Structure 1
């Protein structure tokens, strides 16, 4: 379900109180220069819809997704904004089914075996382990997916994952990607220091090499 996320292995999260279109395009450009043409934009305000739509229109090969999806209506807005994927913090059966109907890659949130069972019952094998570090980290993830290891799970891990932890998560076969907030730091965006985002993207790509 998430072949492109497995290609990149790390997803920069964009979390701003207000994200202007010009800034969104500059972020995308900086990430492309850093060799990481993907981002999850937290989907909370109408400006976030505009940002996703603008990136999708200008950068056809950029994988822009919508994060923080809480319900079906938000998912539909993300689809209309041309989001390539969507991620939720929890399990909402209606949203899972709508994502399947709309053919958009979607990861509901899970942090317990019961959450995973609910996701499977609603027809998905993809989910977000959230909030990763606060929910017990790598060892907890390994424990809760052990009963499901025979299934083709695709997992995105997000929540408190530092650069030092990236490789630990990526060594888990079921992990498609990790989502982190330190590549597109709000401080870099506020200062319009786009080169810092490019540098952080380059460093993040280095961290995805799990054989080091």
Structure 2
């Protein structure tokens, strides 16, 4: 939603991943390899496809975002080929933004639930800690119709109960003087209703993504 609101960017969704295009252009079949995604300056495009995860698979809870810095246009000469459309740097909150304990619970349609527990504390002028854990679960649309599979052999093109999405995310940031340690872990399980890659239509299968990183910065 953040990138969708930025002029010049648009988002598409195939019921599995979200994809970003810029200035009306996106290569079909491209896994977001033309945009460089950073968290506090740390590159998080994956190491296999160079994919930038911009949807529910983004490894940090959106409630922990302080601001988003976007550099438009190609930055490939500085950052490599992933920065062709631009560079997106997500700046996370500091402990002072939480300043204690935050507990949030949300619910919505399609059996959607989300919960988050965050703790932030400044121990002195030069030491602080921020920790957060969050979870999300939705059943999604009960039925989805795909005209490409509109045949009695494939349930007349109707996929049943195959739109669920769930994730869990952990975030830790500790600072002392000029040292900052950051640890991130996320896991996501998305039901896929589209029978992609030759799968059987209206049969349960899912995409599972897990990613972690840690960084000590001086």
Normalised by the size of structure 1, how large is the TM-score? 0.25
Higher helix share: 1
Normalised by the size of structure 2, how large is the TM-score? 0.25
Between 1 and 2, higher relative CO (CA 8 Å, sep ≥ 6) is seen in 1
Larger radius of gyration: 2
Higher strand share: 2
